[in-house]
Amino acid sequence: MTNINKYKKTTAIQILVLFLIIALPICLFSQNDTTNILNKNISLKIKNGNLYDALITISKKTGYNFSYNSELISGDKKIKINVKNKSVNEILHILLSDTTFCFKVISNQIVICGKNEDNSIFENSENLNYIIVKGKIIDSKFNSSLSYATIWVEETNIGTISNSDGEFIFKIPYQKKNKNLIVSFIGYKNLQIPINQLTKYNNLLMLDANVIPIQEVIIRSSSPQALLSSAISLIPNNYCIQPAYLTSFYRETIKRDNNYVAILEAVVDIYKTSYSSDFFDRLKIIKSRKNMNYLLMDTLVVKIKGGLQSSLMLDIVKNKPNFLTSDYFHYYYYNIVDIVDFDNQSAYVIEFKPKKYIDDELLYSGKIYLDIKSLSIRKIEFWIEPKILKKQGHLFIVSHSRKFKVKSQKAIYKVSYKELNNKNYLNYVSADIEFNVRKRGELFFDKYNTLIELAVNKIDTTDVERFKYKEIVKSKKNFFDIVDKYLDNYWGDYNYIKPDESLQKGIEKLYQGK
C-alpha cells in the first residue's frame, strides 16, 4: 500500500423483527399481560424450508421476536408444515418436536428457554462491570447477512462492527444498560433497540432497506469532481482537528490456498493526529497474540506490504490517494450512480474508474459514499483492476526469493468513518490482498491471501497526549505474543471482531496442529 504513502505528503423505518438466538430447553411461563400472544391463532404454510424460516414468518405475523439457543436448536432443521388457525404455542411445539421446551414472553420477545433458566442480559454483569451482547445482523426481507455493520451505544463513543457473517460480540459498560443499541448499515434505516430488551445469547437483528429515489434529492452539482473538490476543502470542518485516542482491534490473517497459516491479533491504542496536520499517527500495543503453522510458513517465501502501520495509512481522508487528489481527477471517470441511506442520512454514491492505463501510476476503481448535507466522506470501497494489477502488482511485494515467481491477483480496500459530535472519525479499515506463488520450472502455484482489519471500538478526545517514543510500535518489531489456546475471554473487557465461521474453523485447525 506504498502508493498511498507516496501521496501522503504530495497530495426501514424501524426493525421488523428482532430475532434472538438463545440455547436452552424451554417451558411455558404464564403472565397475564404477555401470554395472549402465545394463544393467538395464526396459519402457517411452509413447503420446503427450515426452522429459521418458520420462526421469521411467525415473527412477521405476530410482531414478536424470538430467542433461542443455537447450540441446542438448529435453525437449519428442515421444516414442512401446513396448519390453519392454530395457536402460536401449538405451532411452536409442532416445529420443535420436543415437549421439554417452553416459551417465555419478555417484552416483545418469545424466548425458547429451559425451566428456571435466567435469560437476562444482566446475569453476572455487575461482577464483570460490563454486559456482553451477542448477535447477528441480517436483511429483513431476504434474511441475508449484513457484513461489517456498525454497532454502538447511543450518545456514547463506544462501538464495534459485525464480521463477514454479520455476527458480533459487544461488551457494553454496565452503567450504559438503560441506553439504546444502534445498528447502521449503508442503504438501511438505523435500528434502535433498548439494551435491556436483549438477552445474554445471540440476538438476531433485522434491518429494513431504505430506497431513496434519486429524483427526490436535489443534487447540488452535476459534476462529481466538483463535489469531491468541495469535500476535500471541507475536511477541516467535517473531521477532528484535535488529536484523539482510538482504542481499536487489529487482526491479520494469512492463508495458503484454503488453509490458515497465520493469525495475528492485537488491541491497540492509536494516537490519531489532526486531519489538518501532516504528523503521522502513532500506536501502541495493549495486548496481542498470534498463532502460526510453521511447517506451512516455512514455504512462505514472499513478504507482502501490510501490518499495523499500513492499516493506519488506509485512513485515506488523511492520506489521500490519487483519486482524491484534484491533480489526478483527469485520469478518472467519476459518476453519481445512486443515493443511499447512511446512518439515517442521505449519501451520494460516486463511482470512479481509470480512463486508461498509465505507466508507473497505480490507478484504482471504486465507490465513494459522500454525505449529501455535509459533504463528508463516510465510506470508500476501492480496488485495483486486474489488468492494472498485472502490470503494477509488484508494488505490493517487499521481497521474495528469485527461485519463485510471484503474481498479484487481487487488492481490495474498505474504509469507513463514524460521526461523533458532528465530527467524523475513523471507524473501520480492511485490506484484502491475494497473490500466486510458483517455483520456477514447476507447473502449479500456491495461492496466498492476507486480510488486514482494524476496527475502532472507542474514541476519547479528553486529555490526549502524544505517546512516548518507547511505547509506540516500531515498524519492524515483532510484537505478537504466542499463545497456546485461543480463548474468547483473552481480551477481557476490550471489544474485538468476532471470528467468522471460516476463520473459527481455521483457528481450531491451527491449535489442533500444536
pLDDT tens readout for residues 171-222: 999 999 999 999 999 999 998 888 887 877 678 788 888 877 655 555 565 6
3-state secondary structure labels for all residues of 258-321 = CEEEEEEEEEEEEEECCCCCCCCCEEEEEEEEEEECHHHHCCCCEEECCCHHHHHHCCCCCCCC
How many Å apart are CA 247 and CA 318, to the nearest integer?
18
And the C-alpha cell for 177? 444498560
Render 58-95 in DSSP notation, one character per residue: HHHHHS-EEE--TTTS-TT-EEEEEEEEEEHHHHHHHH
Rounded to the nearest integer, the mean pLDDT of the chain is 81
Contact 292, 252 (CB under 8 A): no
And the C-alpha cell for 471? 511505547
Contact 245, 269 (CB under 8 A): yes
Predicted confidence band at 349 (pLDDT cuts at 50, 70, 90)?
Answer: very high
Residue 32, pLDDT score: 41
Among the residue ranges 10-14, 177-181, 252-256, 376-380, the one predicted with the least confidence is 10-14
**Cβ partners under 8 Å of residue 149, min gap 6:** 137, 161, 162, 166, 168, 183, 184, 185, 207
3-state secondary structure labels for all residues of 338-386 = EEEEECCEEEEEEEEEECCCCCCCCCCEEEEEEECCCCCEEEEEEECCH
Residue 5, pLDDT score: 42
Among the residue ranges 33-42, 127-136, 222-231, 350-359, the one predicted with the least confidence is 33-42
User: Residue 22: pLDDT above 60?
Assistant: no
How many Å apart are CA 54 and CA 78, to the nearest integer?
10
pLDDT tens-digit series, residues 23-69: 223 333 333 444 588 999 999 999 888 888 888 888 888 888 776 66
* Helix (H) or strand (E) segment spanning residue 439: strand 423-439
Compute the average pLDDT of residues 351-357.
Answer: 91
Predicted confidence band at 8 (pLDDT cuts at 50, 70, 90)?
Answer: very low
Predicted confidence band at 366 (pLDDT cuts at 50, 70, 90)?
Answer: very high
Residue 400, pLDDT score: 57
Amino acid at 458: K
Among the residue ranges 16-25, 29-38, 136-145, the one predicted with the least confidence is 16-25
Residue 15, pLDDT score: 23
Q: Who has greater pLDDT, 56 or 480?
A: 56
| Burial call 16-49: b when 16+ CB within 10 Å, e when fewer | bbbbbbbbbbbbebeeeebbebbeeebebebeeb
Fold of 23-113: Phage tail protein beta-alpha-beta fold (3.55.50)
How many Å apart are CA 204 and CA 198, to the nearest integer?
10
Question: What residue segments make up the domains of the chain, in order of their start?
Answer: 2-9+220-483, 23-113
The whole-angstrom distance between residue 280's C-alpha and the CA centroid of its chain comes to 25
Compute the average pLDDT of residues 2-9.
Answer: 41
How many Å apart are CA 14 and CA 172, to the nearest integer?
23
Q: Who has greater pLDDT, 505 or 465?
A: 465
Q: What angle do CA 277, 278, 284 make, to 5 degrees?
A: 95
How many Å apart are CA 54 and CA 56, to the nearest integer?
5
Residue 408, pLDDT score: 81
Residue 295, pLDDT score: 62
Residue 394, pLDDT score: 63
User: Residue 124: pLDDT above 80?
Assistant: no
For cell 505478537, what's the residue? 480
Residue 321, pLDDT score: 94
Among the residue ranges 149-153, 182-186, 201-205, 281-285, the one predicted with the least confidence is 201-205
User: Residue 232: pLDDT above 90?
Assistant: yes
User: Residue 104: pLDDT above 80?
Assistant: no
> Is 0.85 topped by the overall pTM?
no
**Which of 51, 46, 47, 98 minimizes the C-alpha distance to 78?**
51
Residue 480, pLDDT score: 52
pLDDT tens-digit series, residues 427-459: 999 999 888 888 777 778 888 888 999 999 999
Among the residue ranges 77-91, 147-161, 195-209, 235-249, the one predicted with the least confidence is 195-209
Q: Who has greater pLDDT, 7 or 43?
A: 43
3-state secondary structure labels for all residues of 457-470 = EEEECCCCCCCCHH
Among the residue ranges 61-70, 186-195, 406-415, 493-502, the one predicted with the least confidence is 61-70
Among the residue ranges 41-55, 232-246, 267-281, 337-351, the one predicted with the least confidence is 41-55
Residue 11, pLDDT score: 37
